[in-house]
Amino acid sequence: MSDITRLIIVAVGGQGNLLASSVLGEAALLAGIPLRMSEIHGMAQRGGVVESALVFGNAQSTIISDGEADVLVGFEPSETLRALNKCNARTVVITNLSPLPPFTVAIGKGVYPDITELQQLIRAKTARLIALNAVDLAKTAGNVLSVNMVLLGALIQTGILPVTADHVKTAIRTKTKAAFVEINTRAFDLGVTAASQQ
Amino acid sequence: MHKLLTDQPGATMVLLGNEAIARGAIEAGVAVATTYPGTPSSEISLNFFQISQESSLYFEYSTNEKVSLEVAAATANSGVRSMCVMKHVGLNVAADALMTLAYVGVKGGLVILTADDPFMFSSQNEQDNRYYGKLSGLAILEPSSVEEAKNMIPYAFELSEALQEPVIFRTTTRINHSTAPVTLGIIRERVCRGDFIKDPFNYVTVPAVSRKLHVKLLANLEKAAERSEVSPYNFISGKGAWGIICNGVSFAYLSDAIRDLDIQDKVKLLRIGFSHPLPQKMIKGFLGSCEKVLVVEEGEPYMEEAVKAFAQEAGLTLPINGKGKDLFSRLYEFNPRMVRQVVAAYFGVPCKLEPMVDLSNIPEIPQRPPNLCAGCSHRATFYAVKKAAEGLSTIYPTDIGCYTLGFLPPLGMGDFLICMGSSAGTSCGFSKVTDKKVVSFIGDSTFFHSGIPGLVNAVFNNHNFTFVILDNGITAMTGHQPNPGVDMGLMNLQGYGQISIEAVVRALGVPHVAVIQPYKVKKSIETLREAFNFKGVSVVIAQEMCTLYAKGFKKTKSRAYYVSDKCRNHRDCISQLACPAFFLDAEKVKIDPVMCAGCAVCAQICPENAILPVKA
């Protein structure tokens, strides 16, 4: 199983998860690494959770079982915690720390988890947690919508995926809108730097 | 040019399964494609729709799956290669056409795609449509991967023409919604014109004709069985005395499991891609060379039961298992770990599984169910119905679309749902035998799909309920596809008709008809109350364009609203409407100005009139 890397990305509809997957797909093609993906995105536009599974290497499966992700990237902290069932003790977790509380919290049907406790829990159960405020970094880059690129930067910095920062930057140029390439690239670099400092 | 029309045989393209299927059809020279949209099949049709706007491909969004198949039955019997695409439950709607079309057969190739949805990611059931092969006597093909799905479509057309019968192409969600590199093939020239040669004694299915056609169907089934025996899509890989028989996505999980468990030299794999009729001789030969066999298939024990019967005929007594305790379930979808575990346990080999994270001390995480969009007119209608029905004991039959989400709290509008169009029919029954006020909901597309017959029934049999038609001008749930009520001019498309729901309802003789604009809350409540007081069938049509769709035309009311200092924290807005644009900040309600669609419904219900438009 050593030549296979399994990545789960969880996000809330509208956070740009599918674009991030598409950039990684292109980067893998450039790197000559086989990649299969699957997505559950039926209700993305209705505020639901979007989950992508990306399997790099010579596997045939396009989905990732519970306990079998090598990396988990969460675009929203409570969704990162919810996806912990995909992890094991060797999993590296990357999470955005900026919450998007689900609507159920606003109508009193649940309590949003404490962000500090959330990080302690993930840290205790997995190999490594990289936690960053991707929204702030995206704003620094010039567009709050480039949260996805910040998190891609942090992901690539870990060196777990068999694709390089150059592959991803090339993919950002071909897969994201021309007007946003500069901001997206900057957001990606900010993610790389932020992760390297943790 | 549409990317799926790229004429570069041998080139590699990363495609979604549904794109790969559409590409396969293009390579096969498909000339007519029909559909009623349904997840997980919707993107196949979306690609056909786009391609039809820049090529000679004829594509249509039909009123429902039955009509869709009838259109394709005629084009295929005029010698034109045709494809009909639907989700699994759509084939139930089309089944009446399917069963006798199998008797009649086709001249040009006809591929009927049914997208099954194990685990019900976006469906009301997880029925296994392989049984439609047995029921109808038609051949079934099932791919195991995105790449294979593309390659199998041209084969399906050739098979259909060789057998002179439609071919059922069955996928599952994990094929439709997976993405992988695909190698492009040669695009066959599209032949769009055909001819229908009269032959009533083979085409008009009166009993005397059908008795003869059934004989023909059985003969064709024999031919299909011979082809299944030699099909490249039924193959054996590996070697050893243990046997595994599988289909669909399970093949991918098994390929990984066999490698991970390092049992390549011990186990043979029979992959079934041509699953009706099954390759009986091939399976018997396979069983004869095995000591023990495991059948790996999501859904029902379709192959397992057949394989056991074949073993009995061949006088073989080896253990054959599939579904059961400590084996596989008939429920939901499989995954790689589950398949690895069952294979290891069944054949008695060690299986190292990564221990899962201990989740016992994880706090309860608030649910994030999908919600009606900010400014969705359905929310406004549901609120108005709730207010108008205050004091009444009610039953709310609902239907299939975005508005089904209205059954969730706090709206709680939706009490019964079984299938497309069921709101109308079930309302007749509920109102007949209960003393409650029945108010049912149906969307515009679902009304045209199968709501009309239920309403006709209500008028004829003089039932007593209020039928609320939520007309948001588009088929929103599956991604904004057209339906017969849609103004196609908005999409810059000419040559379509447009049917007024109000005119249809009035023409059916519904005795009480009213139209509301749901953003006008007070007026809507009054109009609904009048309809509820009417004894007999009343129809209220709520007209307001889907906010998401309207955004595409910049037709939304641009001004957002905010909560002013006048707010006394009643929270009627948030607790009764549950619009996702609301959030709590230091226990005070706020409105996200980016999400707010400016519908102003909350402003109308605030007891303090505290919700005001943001000044320009």
Interface of A with B in 163-182 (CB under 8 A): none
Backbone angles phi, psi at A154, to 5 degrees: -60, -40
User: Among residues A94, A154, A155, which one has the least CA distance to residue A129?
Assistant: A94
Q: How many residues does chain B have?
A: 616
User: Among residues B55, B43, B141, which one has the least CA distance to residue B85?
Assistant: B43
Residue where the block lists tokens 């390759």: B279
Q: Which amino acid is at A26?
A: E
Run of H or E including B183:
strand B178-183
* Interface contact flag, B364 A35, Cβ < 8 Å: no
d(CA A134, CA A138): 6
User: Among residues B464, B15, B297, which one has the least CA distance to residue B6?
Assistant: B15
d(CA B570, CA B563): 12
Q: How many residues does chain A have?
A: 198
Within its chain, how far is the Cα of B117 from the centroid? 8
User: Among residues A134, A188, A127, which one has the least CA distance to residue A163?
Assistant: A188
User: Among residues B597, B601, B608, which one has the least CA distance to residue B571?
Assistant: B608
Q: What are the C-alpha distances in Å from B548 to residues A7, A63, B479?
A: 31, 30, 10
Query: Using a CB-CB distance cutoff of 8 angstroms, which residues of chain B are in contact with residue A102?
Result: 366-369
Q: Does A49 touch chain B (CB under 8 A)?
A: yes
What are the tens digits of pLDDT across the range B510-548? 999 999 999 999 999 999 999 999 999 999 999 999 998
Distance from CA of A152 to the nearest CA of B (A): 19
- Among B40, B337, B367, whose Cβ lies nearest the Cβ of A66? B337
Joined tokens for residue B43: 């993107």
Interface test with B, best of A41, A63, A121, A125 (most B CBs within 10 A): A63
Distance from CA of B341 to the nearest CA of A (A): 12
Residue B387: count of CB within 10 angstroms of its CB: 17
* Interface contact flag, B361 A12, Cβ < 8 Å: no
Give the three-state DSSP class for B601: helix
Residues 6 or more apart whose CB falls under 8 angstroms from that of A26 comprise A170, A171, A174, A175, B14
Give the three-state DSSP class for B276: strand
Residue B251 has pLDDT above 70, yes or no: yes
Under 8 Å between Cβ of B61 and B481: yes
Residue A42 has pLDDT above 70, yes or no: no
**What is the edge-to-edge ordering of all strands in the sheet holding B394-395?**
B394-395, B437-443, B465-471, B537-543, B512-516
d(CA A134, CA A192): 11
Run of H or E including B612:
strand B611-613
* Interface contact flag, A68 B39, Cβ < 8 Å: no
Residues 6 or more apart whose CB falls under 8 angstroms from that of B23 comprise B4, B13, B15, B150, B182, B184
Q: Does B174 touch chain A (CB under 8 A)?
A: yes
* pLDDT confidence band for B556 (50 / 70 / 90): low
- Residue A106 is predicted with a pLDDT of 81
What are the tens digits of pLDDT across the range B127-147? 999 999 999 999 999 999 999
* Interface contact flag, B174 A65, Cβ < 8 Å: no
Average pLDDT over residues B285-296: 98
Q: What is the mean pLDDT of chain B?
A: 96
What are the tens digits of pLDDT across the range A90-136? 999 999 999 998 888 888 888 999 999 999 999 999 999 999 999 99
Under 8 Å between Cβ of B351 and B330: no
What are the tens digits of pLDDT across the range B29-88? 999 999 999 999 999 999 999 999 999 999 999 999 999 999 999 999 999 999 999 999
- Residue A121 is predicted with a pLDDT of 97
- Residue B557 is predicted with a pLDDT of 59
Under 8 Å between Cβ of B133 and B140: yes
Run of H or E including B61:
strand B58-61
Q: Does A35 touch chain B (CB under 8 A)?
A: yes
Q: What is the 3-state secondary structure (H, E, C) of chain A?
A: CCCCEEEEEEEECCCCHHHHHHHHHHHHHHHCCCEEEEEECCCHHHCCEEEEEEEECCCCCCCCCCCCCCEEEECCHHHHHHHHHHCECCCEEEEECCCCCCHHHHCCCCCCCCHHHHHHHHHHHCCEEEEECHHHHHHHHCCHHHHHHHHHHHHHHCCCCCCCHHHHHHHHHHHCCHHHHHHHHHHHHHHHHHHHCC
Residue B46: count of CB within 10 angstroms of its CB: 20
Q: Does B390 touch chain A (CB under 8 A)?
A: no
Residue B390: count of CB within 10 angstroms of its CB: 9
Interface of A with B in 97-116 (CB under 8 A): 101-113
User: Among residues B475, B476, B521, which one has the least CA distance to residue B380?
Assistant: B521
Q: What is the mean pLDDT of chain A?
A: 93
Backbone angles phi, psi at B494, to 5 degrees: -105, 170
Residue B135: count of CB within 10 angstroms of its CB: 14
Q: What are the C-alpha distances in Å from B307 to residues A82, B83, B282, B316?
A: 41, 31, 11, 11
Q: Is the ipTM of this complex over 0.90?
A: yes
d(CA A176, CA A19): 8
Residues 6 or more apart whose CB falls under 8 angstroms from that of B229 comprise B279, B280, B281, B282
Query: Using a CB-CB distance cutoff of 8 angstroms, which residues of chain A are in contact with residue B402?
Result: 46
Interface of B with A in 414-473 (CB under 8 A): none
Residue B370 has pLDDT above 90, yes or no: no
* Interface contact flag, A43 B372, Cβ < 8 Å: no
Average pLDDT over residues A133-155: 96
Burial class (CB in 10 A: 0-12, 13-18, 19+), B431: buried
Query: Using a CB-CB distance cutoff of 8 angstroms, which residues of chain B are in contact with residue A93?
Result: none
Burial class (CB in 10 A: 0-12, 13-18, 19+), B258: buried
Run of H or E including B113:
strand B110-116
- Residue B600 is predicted with a pLDDT of 95
* pLDDT confidence band for A45 (50 / 70 / 90): low
Within its chain, how far is the Cα of A196 from the centroid? 16
User: Among residues A25, A143, A123, A40, which one has the least CA distance to residue A77?
Assistant: A123
Q: Beta partners for B113?
A: B85, B169
Q: Beta partners for B182?
A: B13
Torsion of CA B373, B378, B382, B387, to 10 degrees: 100
Q: What are the C-alpha distances in Å from B366 to residues A45, B18, B108, B573?
A: 19, 33, 54, 21
Joined tokens for residue A68: 């079998």
Within its chain, how far is the Cα of B232 from the centroid? 29
- Residue B478 is predicted with a pLDDT of 85
Under 8 Å between Cβ of B573 and B602: yes
Beta strands per DSSP E along B300-384: 320-321
User: Among residues A79, A97, A107, A38, which one has the least CA distance to residue B371?
Assistant: A107
- Among B14, B260, B359, whose Cβ lies nearest the Cβ of A84? B359
What are the tens digits of pLDDT across the range B309-361? 999 999 999 999 999 999 999 999 999 999 999 999 999 999 988 899 999 99
CA nearest to A127 within chain B: B357
Run of H or E including B32:
strand B32-35
Residue B20: count of CB within 10 angstroms of its CB: 32
Q: How many helices (H) and strands (E) does chain B have?
A: 22, 23
Residue A44 has pLDDT above 60, yes or no: no
Residue where the block lists tokens 């006809």: B110
Question: What single string gives the DSSP state of each residue in B366-429?
Answer: PP----PPTT-HHHHHHHHHHHHTTTS-EE-B--SSGGGGGGSTTT----B--STTHHHHHHHH
* Interface contact flag, B365 A87, Cβ < 8 Å: no
Give the three-state DSSP class for B480: coil
User: What percent of chain B has pLDDT above 90?
Assistant: 93
Run of H or E including B16:
strand B12-16
Beta strands per DSSP E along B242-328: 242-247, 267-272, 274-276, 292-296, 320-321
d(CA B505, CA B511): 9
d(CA B560, CA B612): 9
What are the tens digits of pLDDT across the range A177-189? 899 999 999 999 9
User: Among residues A142, A151, A140, which one has the least CA distance to residue A19?
Assistant: A151
